[in-house]
Amino acid sequence: MYENPSDQNQSTQMTRSHIGTRFGDPIFQMLTFAFAIMVLLILGGVILTLCEGAWPALRVFGPAFVWTASWNPVTKNFGALVPLIGTMITALIAMLIGVPFSFGLALFLTEICPHGIRQPIAIAIELLAAVPSIIYGIWGLFILAPLFQRTIEPLLISSLGPLPLIGALFQGPPIGIGMLLAGLILGLMVLPFITAVMREVFLSVPQVLRESAYGLGATRWEVTWRVVLPYCRTGVVGGIMLGLGRALGETMAVTFVIGNAHHLSTSLLAPGTTISATLANEFTEADGEIYTASLIGLGLVLFVLTFFVLAIGKRLLLGAQARTTLA
């Protein structure tokens, strides 16, 4: 019996493929494991660098550095409370502005918008993410700040200022720059990121699910609320966390419009500062070990804050996945 040459070649190729797979899989596994370890090493190096640089200030001020409101380079008395609160407030304002608009835009683009203009609008929104942050800052300082000072802030002071509780947030002179304007700029900056993620996850919903719901007589809102959102809840939360991370760490745009003032105020119209803005403004002017260490300590506080925010976001994602599995 003579063996067919083509069968022999095919058998040889299969043997070589089996050998290549047997040796290729462990190599691929080791490479991916090395990449994962490299990421952990880089993260650990960042933490160690921040802790080492901030140690002189932490040794002097102790844990009180986090809740101390004073920031006085002359007396060498530093605390992270004012920029920490400013960071959280501006990020919260950005989320209150960015998330509803992003959800509405993503819903419009995937469910309502005519096909002819859907793609151009989506591209225009995504192009907003390519605008440098300093451009947002300049635009906010020279265009929005005068508008706020002349029109918007006087209107807020006269209409909302006299109200109980909420009125304390809209009191003081109409300066133009301040926490409210910084939060608005941040909301505009995170909008394209959240919108792009929400749009993609909305598009990932199988069309048969929508058609089935419409066939049962559901309205467009019911399809969105009861079909689309439960299916892609995890992606929506992930997009919001992505935008929140951008808002917490933004520097230049906030530096232009927040006022850079180290004092606490209940009014959103008053100037303030954030951790990133403080670092950008004062790092080159820091003289002395304590001053520099305090600024690095602010970076450490921002790192910890971002870590906790991402951890909470991950916990929400796991909870959403668990509820989806049980359902």
**Structure confidence at residue 179 (pLDDT):** 92
Q: Which residue has the higher pLDDT, 41 or 20?
A: 41
Please name the residue that has the structure tokens 């200022």.
161
**Structure confidence at residue 38 (pLDDT):** 93
Look at residue 1 and tell me whether its pLDDT is greater than 50.
no
pLDDT in tens, 184-211: 999 999 999 898 888 888 888 888 888 8
3-state SS class at 55: helix
> Which whole-number Å values give the CA distances from 320 to 86, 237, 241, 258, 315, in the listed order?
30, 9, 14, 36, 9
3-state SS class at 311: helix
**Sign of the dihedral defined by the CA atoms of residues 131, 134, 137, 139, in that order:** negative
The mean of the pLDDT values for the chain is 84
In sequence order, what DSSP letters do the residues of 80-122 get, joined into one string? SHHHHHHHHHHHHHHHHHHHHHHHHHHHIIIIIS-HHHHHHHH
**Structure confidence at residue 16 (pLDDT):** 53
Q: Which residue has the higher pLDDT, 84 or 315?
A: 84
Domains and CATH numbers, the chain: 77-326 (1.10.3720.10)
**Structure confidence at residue 142 (pLDDT):** 92
pLDDT band at 146 (very low <50, low <70, confident <90, very high): very high
Largest pairwise CA distance in the chain: 103
- Cα gap 114→165, rounded to integer Å: 44
pLDDT in tens, 236-294: 888 888 888 888 888 888 999 998 888 888 888 889 899 998 988 888 787 888 888 99
Burial 215-231 (b: 16+ CB within 10 A, else e): eeebeeeebbeebbbeb
**Structure confidence at residue 12 (pLDDT):** 57
Query: Treating both helix axes as pointing N-terminal to C-terminal, what angle do 233-249 and 289-326 enclose, rounded to 10 degrees?
Result: 170
Rounded to a whole number of angstroms, the distance between the first and last alpha carbons of the chain is 62
pLDDT in tens, 32-50: 889 999 999 998 888 899 8
**Structure confidence at residue 91 (pLDDT):** 92
> Which whole-number Å values give the CA distances from 249 to 29, 182, 298, 303, 321, in the listed order?
34, 13, 12, 9, 28
Tell me the average pLDDT across 172-188.
90
